[in-house]
Amino acid sequence: MDKFSFLHPGMKSHFSDRFVTRISDCLGWYKEGMSGDVGLIGLPASKSSITPSHSSGAPQTIRSCLNSYTTYSGERSKDYKDLRILDFGDVRIHPTNLDETISRLYISVKEMLEVRACERYVLLGGDHGVSYPAIRAFQDHYGTVGVIQWDAHHDVRNLEDGGRTNGTPFRSLVESGHLKGDHLVQVGIRDFSNAMKYHEFAKDHGIKVYTMGDVEQTGIVPIVKKEVERLSKITNIIYLSVDMDAADQAFAPGCPAIGPGGLTSRELLASVSEAAKHEKVKAMDIVEVDPAVDFRDMTSRLAAHVMVRFLFL
C-alpha cells in the first residue's frame, strides 16, 4: 500500500477549511538563497532566569499557537496570506556553559542578519537574557539601535550578585556601549516591582521610563508613538523587546514573574501595532513565556498574537 486514505505520518491532524489560511501556513524553513518578508529565529535559553523557568520551550509553543490565527484582518479588510516568513530554526543552547550560550545566540542572530534574506525579524525567547546578545548583533550589523522595552521590570540589576541573568540585559548593553541610555525606552514599569537603586540607574543613564501610572494617565499608544518618532530621528533602526510579564497576570499567567497591575492584552497589542508601523522598526523579540506553568496556552497565544501585530502592517 503506497499511501493512506486518512493517515498523514509525521503530521498533526487538524480541521482544514479551503477558504482559511492560517499564519502557520506562511512559515517555511530557510534554505540558502531564499528570501522572504520576515525572518523568524528561536532563542530557547532560560538557564539564566532568576525565577526558575522553562521558557526554553516557548519558541516551539508560540509557533504552534500561530495555527490559531488566520491571515485575514476584518478591521483592515486585508488578507495577508502572501506574507512569507522564513524560519531559521532554534539555536542549540549549551547545556551548562552560560557564556558559550550567549556566544551562540550572538553568532546565530548575526549569521541570520548577514544572509540578508529578510527586511524584518522576530526572535522568540527564552528569558530576557537573550536580548543582550541579540541586540548586540543588531547593533553590530545596523549601527545605532533604539529599543522600546515592554516590561514590568527595568532589567538593569547588578552583575555582582548573580552574573548575567534575565534581570541584567539592559545594564549589560548600556555599560558595554552597545546601547545608549537615551536610546532605550521602558514602557509598563510596574509599581512595587523594582528596587530604588535600579530606578535611579535608569534615570542616571538617560533611559526613558514610563510606569503603569504614566500609561494610565497618558495612554500607551500615544507614549509609544511619541517615542518611536523620537528614536527614529537618532538611530538607524528600532528594536522592540516584549517581556510578556508587562501584561497583567490575568492575561499572561504563564510568565515566571507574574503580577497584578500590568497591561491589558488590548493595550499590549495596540501599542505593538503602533510601533510596528514605522519603517525603522526592524525587529522584535518576545520573551519570558513559560509553557510549563501556563494555563491553556493563554500566554503563548497572546505572545503569538503580539507576533501577528508585528507581522501584519
Q: Could you tell me the three cell numbers for 293?
A: 506553568
Which residues touch 53 (CB under 8 Å, ≥6 apart)? Answer: 46, 127, 166, 256, 288, 290
Helix-then-strand count for the chain, H and E = 9, 11
Q: Is 141 exposed, middle or buried (0-12, 13-18, 19+ CB in 10 A)?
A: middle
Which residues touch 84 (CB under 8 Å, ≥6 apart)? Answer: 26, 28, 36, 37, 38
**DSSP H or E run through 173:** helix 169-175
Nearest CA to 287 among 26, 42, 27? 42
DSSP 262-300: -B-HHHHHHHHHHHHTSTTEEEEEEE---GGG-STTHHH
Each as own residue / partner, the long-range contacts of residues 7-13 (CB below 8 Å, 24 or more positions apart, any chain) are none
* Residues linked to residue 285 through DSSP beta bridges, in sequence order: 123, 241
Is 255 in a helix, a strand, or coil? coil
Q: Which residues are annotated as a binding site?
A: 128, 151, 153, 155, 243, 245
Q: Which residues are annotated as a binding site for Mn(2+)?
A: 128, 151, 153, 155, 243, 245
Q: In the block, which residue shows the cell 517555511? A: 28
Intra-chain end-to-end CA distance of the chain, in Å? 47
